[in-house]
Structure formats: structure tokens, C-alpha cells
Amino acid sequence: MSRLRQARQAVVGAGLFTRLEWRDRRNGRQLDLVQDRLSAIRPRDVLLFVCLRNEQPRMPAFVDYYRGLGVGHFFVVDNGSTDGFREWAAGQKDMSVWHTEASYRDSGFGMMWLNDLMRRHAVHRWCVVVDPDEFLVYPHVETRSLPDLVQFLEDDRRACMHALLVDAYSDRPLADTVLGPGDDPFAVCPYFDRDGYVQTEGWGNGVWIQGGPRLRQHFHDNPHGAPALNKIPLIRWQRVYHYRHSTHDAYPRRLNRAHTEGEVSVTGALFHFKLVSALAAKADEEATRGEHYDGGREYAHYRRGGAEAEFHSPGISTRYERSEQLVELGLMSSGRWF
């Protein structure tokens, strides 16, 4: 590449970053810090960032799981919850909470809020960025902590770790798949699709992955409209970074390459516990609010599917047992982390 072309790309990139940062900061001003536990953060803590609305029943299992992996502090954006989340959060000494009633849709579906918080509080720090129904699994998760993983990624000169979003489900109808407060979601929804994933070219030299039970059940007549399953849930944040569409892709573009040429990196699996009985009420609310992607079109599919929808399918459904199983199936990679 010529020096002139490199210079032009640098100028274009700088201009794009300035616009993205301005949008993030503008939306960040919508956040009010209502629970400040930031002084408890230690220098090497892995931080977790999550945006939620009325997800309190999920939170006890969520924070217990990530604490067990080694997360040191939780950054939570509460987008107008009315289910007692704030009262519950008050008892969490490793959690800081920001509140906003602003539009989830207009904030890039919460990502501009999180981008701004990470730019203010997490530069040069490793961050887990997930939804309340997403549980990260990585090679050797049973015996190695998140601090162990990020140390390897640093030694391997990686800026982030990619993961496949793996939709988990039960062998019962949706209405009978009840995830109660504090329940282990891996026990309630122990199954996943062992194959059936399609990878195409994505934005910024990345990939776009679709498939799984939601495509089978709700998008079989329009597979190109199925939810994206490529995620970047673990990242060592820098000031010039910016998540674009949820955590499906990021800026700068180099972050969207899971592997470097000639080398295979560590990748993970992000278990997604959306397919439970509470989805029916959530679909009604979100399809009406229209605050999610494409006006809540995905939730309209869930409403039509009904409470009796079943996702278990003999021959493709497999019970999750251990992280090594996902490596053997090719759903994640251990890279050089032996």
C-alpha cells in the first residue's frame, strides 16, 4: 500500500472516529449515575458492561456466573426498569448503575451508551460486553478464569475475542420452559444446535453468521432475515473503539477479523438463553414498543410462534456438557491456548 493511500485512509478514519465519538458522547449525556461503586475497581479487574430493561429475575444467576469467571465489576445501564432492579442492585457491592428513560432505539440499541461508558472508564481494560441472557463460554472455562484468558490474549497480541452466539433451549414447549429467579439457565435450557450455521462476508473484513433454532423455527421462509450470531463479547477497550450493531461488529475494522492470516485465535461461544417462557410477555411488550432492531420485527416473529413453540429437533439438538465439546464440533477454537 502506498504512503499516499495510507495517509488518505488515516484521514478518513480520523474523521469517522470523530463522528462516532460525538454520537456516543451525546447519548452518554442521557445517563444518570444512580449507584456509584467505582472506587471498588482494582487495576487489573475485568469489567462487564450490560444494558437492560426489566431483567431483574435473570440477574442473580447472571452476576453469580460472571463473578465465578472472574469479573471484577459490573457496569449496568438501566433503561427504565420497573421490576425492582434498582432495589436489588443496591445490595451488589461490585456493581455501578446508570439510569436513563431515553430511547433504546435512538441510542443504537444501547450500544452508544455502553461505548461512552467504556471510553470514560475502561480504556486499556478488558471488558465483557453482553446482554443479560448471554453467558460466555471459552476453551478450558471449567478450570481457567477470565483473568487467565485475557492474560493469554495479551501475550498473543490479541485485542479482542470473537464468539458464536449459541441459542440454548429445552426439550419442552416454550410455555413449560420456566427460568425462575436464580435458576441455572444451563440446566433449564441444556440443548443447542450442533450444526446448521452459515457464514458469509460481513462488514469490515469480518463475517456474518446465521443459523440455529431461531432460524429453523421463525425464519425458515426468510433465512437472510434471521438474527446474526457473530459476536465480539470480549475486548481490550481503546479510546478509538466503537461497537456498531450490538456487539456483532466494531470499529476499527481490524477488530472484525477473528483470526489473523495463517494463525487461528481463541474464540468462544456465547450461550443465549432467550428461549424461555418469559419470551411470550417480552415479545408482546417489545413488538408494541418498537424500540428494538427493525421496529421489533424479530419479536413479532416470536409472538406468531406462540407459547407452544418447540425448538428441540432430533439429529441436530445436542446437550451441552463441556467446553471441549464445542471445540470438537468446530463451534469455537482453542487456538494456541493449550
pLDDT tens, position by position, 144-191: 999 999 999 999 999 999 999 999 999 999 999 999 999 999 999 999
pLDDT at position 124: 98
pLDDT digits (tens, 9 = 90+) for 273-303: 999 999 988 887 776 776 655 555 677 767 7
pLDDT digits (tens, 9 = 90+) for 40-89: 999 999 999 999 999 999 999 999 999 999 999 999 999 999 999 999 99
Amino acid, single-letter form, for residue 126: W
The closest alpha carbon to 175, from 293, 63, 307, 71, belongs to 307
pLDDT at position 11: 37
Q: Structure pTM?
A: 0.92
- In whole angstroms, give the CA distance from residue 64 to residue 319: 22
pLDDT at position 159: 97
- In whole angstroms, give the CA distance from residue 173 to residue 250: 36
- In whole angstroms, give the CA distance from residue 168 to residue 128: 20
Is the pLDDT confidence value at 245 over 90? no
CB 276 within 8 A of CB 177: yes
Q: Which residue ranges form the domains of the chain, and what is each CATH number? A: 3-249+265-328 (3.90.550)
pLDDT at position 283: 80
Environment class of 23 (CB within 10 Å of its CB; exposed 0-12, middle 13-18, buried 19+):
middle
Range list of H helices, 172-292: 185-188, 213-218, 279-289
The closest alpha carbon to 132, from 215, 50, 204, belongs to 50
Q: Using the Cα atoms of residue 257, residue 260, residue 163 and residue 194 in order, give the sign of their dihedral.
A: positive
Is the pLDDT confidence value at 266 over 90? yes
pLDDT at position 8: 47
Is the pLDDT confidence value at 6 over 90? no
